[in-house]
Amino acid sequence: MWRYLNIYLISAALLLLSGSPLNGQSMIDLTKEEVRVIVKDKHMEFRRDKAVVNQQFNYLKYINGLRSRTWIIYFTDEDICRSSKLVCDYGEYDEVLEELNESHEKVGESEWTYQLEGDTIQVILARQEWYFTVREARKK
């Protein structure tokens, strides 16, 4: 029994240390291949989801193991990341809000910013009826 408890605790610690899309490295301006490598190496709780493919957009879609977070990373025609969207169940709300407050500067009720190579990146949380989203893009 202790062995299983130790394995559980070690697994939980690794998940916490692996980071999240909110407080990890920004994907904006990275190539699609760079994003694939970073997600694989630093966001191990996410797995690529190819179940539904929308040919209208150039994106990568990832889902966490609990299926409570979906991370969609959008690219230009040249495969450069321009924005991302995190779609979460409300069970993730408090944790996501804490991550946003810890890693970004709050500038509005549901808006945060951070600097990336001299540009301001805007992060907006939007509440929907059954889920909420966190969108990240260069401020216009």
Q: What is the pLDDT of residue 2?
A: 52
For the chain, helix, strand, coil in percent to 5 are 30, 35, 35
Q: Helices (DSSP H) in the chain: which residue ranges?
A: 2-17, 32-42, 93-103
Rounded Cα distance between 82 and 19, Å, is 21
* pLDDT band for position 25 (cuts 50, 70, 90): confident
- For the stretch 97-121, pLDDT in tens is 999 999 999 999 999 999 999 999 9
pLDDT score of 6 more than 60: no
Q: CA 135 to CA 130: how far, in whole Å?
A: 17
pLDDT at position 84 is 98
Residue whose pair of structure tokens reads 């909420």 in the numeric block: 132
**Rounded Cα–Cα distance for residues 110 and 90 (Å):** 15
- pLDDT confidence bin for 24, thresholds 50/70/90: low
Q: What is the pLDDT of residues 35-47, one digit of tens each?
A: 999 999 999 999 9
pLDDT of residue 93: 98
Buried b (16+ CB within 10 A) or exposed e, 46-81: beeeeeeeeeeebbbbbbbeeeebbbbbbbeeeeeb
Only one residue has tokens 């291949």, namely 33
Write down the residue that tokens 């697994």 correspond to: 11
pLDDT number for residue 53: 80
Please name which of 100, 73, 85 lies closest in space to residue 136, comparing C-alpha atoms. Answer: 85
pLDDT grade for 21, boundaries at 50, 70 and 90? low
What local confidence, expressed as pLDDT, does residue 52 receive? 78
